[in-house]
Structure 1
Amino acid sequence: MTQMALVIDLNVCVGCQACVTSCKEWNTSGESGSLADLNPYDADPSGTFFNRVQSFEAGSYPNADTIHFPKSCLHCEDPPCVPVCPTGASYKRKEDGLVLVDFDKCIGCKYCAWACPYGARELDEARKEMTKCTLCVDRIHDENLSERDRQPACVLACPTSARLFGDIHDPESVVSKAIEERGGYQLMPEWNTRPANHYLPRITTSASGCGSDGCSCKGTGAAIEAPESLDSLDAQLEHGQLHLASMATRI
């Protein structure tokens, strides 16, 4: 079965929010309908977004870093949001593996939001309907668009190509090759939801840090010896540098 998905490279995401704004622009005017923005410039704004980028600090001086972590629906291969829906509004398509919502059937009960361990569903306060990322289903199958444009809006908008799109069940696809070659991983696999979206782990090195050959303070007595770099994701998690699992459910 085809399983369309995103692969997000955490090494090159700069947190520019281009994916967030392009997603909002496309979907609020597309098949998903208007997405609410209530009091956007007040002290307590509220809005519906299919895609968000969360940023947080990791590590310690001199190896401190800012990590930008994009988050949206992961289009799980075994989605827990589907069987709990009392009206059948939430469903998974066989032809492309996408998890979608039939707005005509949705009653806004929030069962799917409670079942989702990733916090990926949002109730539109104006429409009282549950919304989520559709991977721009109204774009990717539109034969009136050029092949290049048949991708999610967030992928097209990313200035650093941090977002890849394709069929993860096709071993020759760009996403499958990226997962295999770069050690792409699923978020919180212990939930056994088999998320389709994958992340490419960050690779940290001290090549350009203080005391390296490329550092201007080299040889001046001002260099500070950096601790041994943590190249693997497991090592970073073990040393408390990355907390992706906890960040995934934090809005």
Structure 2
Amino acid sequence: MTQTKQLALVIDLNVCVGCHACVTSCKQWNTSGSAGPLTDQNPYGADPTGTFFNRVQTYEVDTFPLTQTIHFPKSCLHCEDPPCVPVCPTGASYKRKEDGIVLVDYDKCIGCKYCAWACPYGARELDEERQVMTKCTLCVDRIYSTSLPEAERKPACVMACPTNARLFGDIKDAQSEVSQVIRERGGYALMPEHETRPANHYLPRAITEIIEAAKRDLA
């Protein structure tokens, strides 16, 4: 499918602080919006589980004194060639022609998990209560809502991020903010070896002065 428009997120790993504001705002909006409810099972028990469209994973890399903590937000990447779509036996998983967003039709979904197995990014989750597969929708019910001011027609995670680590726009528009930062700052797609052409991109972490100083001391 040739897309003339492809909406996507660009996530700046250099300024993400792992605060999880994107996670909680996503949960809140989509629990009350058209994609919800995002259920929780036994939320206050010993083994709480729940459905999330967005998660932040935190890693420590390298060894002292070069140790760094990296916060890595992860959600559906809205691939231009999404492997989750052709494996769906009911056609519930589909990619929109008008904006490239990958969605799930809950009325058609049978919860077989084929899409989750096909996705190399682990972006799909089974809603245990409704028994349907769920994923990030880029807040499709929000970004086109005429009831919101135009400045607020962005995914909830983008609006909530306190460090502006999340940008949203059309990566097919060469003049868009997201396209410009991808070019200027070396934005990259996740795991390109899978040839899914993820729409979402990440901006790499910069080498900080502290790390540079530590490297000089070790030299």
| TM-score, normalisation: structure 1 | 0.83
Question: Shift of residue 226 of structure 1?
Answer: 3.5
Are residue 105 (structure 1) and residue 108 (structure 2) matched?
A: yes
Question: Shift of residue 19 of structure 1?
Answer: 0.2
Distance 1:17 1:84 in 2: 32
Question: Shift of residue 33 of structure 1?
Answer: 2.0
Distance 2:28 2:157 in 1: 10
Larger Rg: 1
Question: Shift of residue 36 of structure 1?
Answer: 1.2
For 1:19, the equivalent position in structure 2 comes to 22
Cα shift readout 1:169-194 (whole Å, capped 9, x = no counterpart): 00111100010000000000000000
Q: Any runs of at least 4 consecutive aligned residues in structure 1 with deviations exceeding 4 A, and if so which?
A: 209-212
1:1-251 paired onto structure 2 within 5 Å = 1-205=4-208, 207-208=209-210, 225-227=216-218
Which structure exhibits the higher relative contact order, with contacts defined as CA atoms closer than 8 Å and separated by 6 or more residues?
Answer: 2
Cα shift readout 1:82-129 (whole Å, capped 9, x = no counterpart): 001111000000100000000000011111111101000000000001
Question: Shift of residue 211 of structure 1?
Answer: 5.6
Sort the Cα spacing of 1:43 and 1:172 in 2 relative to 1 into closer, same or farther, 3 A: same
SS in 1 for 2:115: helix
Measured on the aligned residues, the alpha-carbon RMSD in Å equals 1.5
Distance 2:52 2:212 in 1: 39
Distance 1:112 1:60 in 2: 37
Unaligned runs of 5+ in 2: none
Relative to total residues, which structure has the larger helix share, 1 or 2?
2
Unaligned runs of 5+ in 1: 213-223, 229-251
SS in 2 for 1:5: strand
The amino acid across from 1:98 in the alignment is I
Question: Shift of residue 210 of structure 1?
Answer: 8.9
Deviates more, 1:127-136 or 1:53-62: 53-62
- Identity rate of aligned residues, in percent? 73
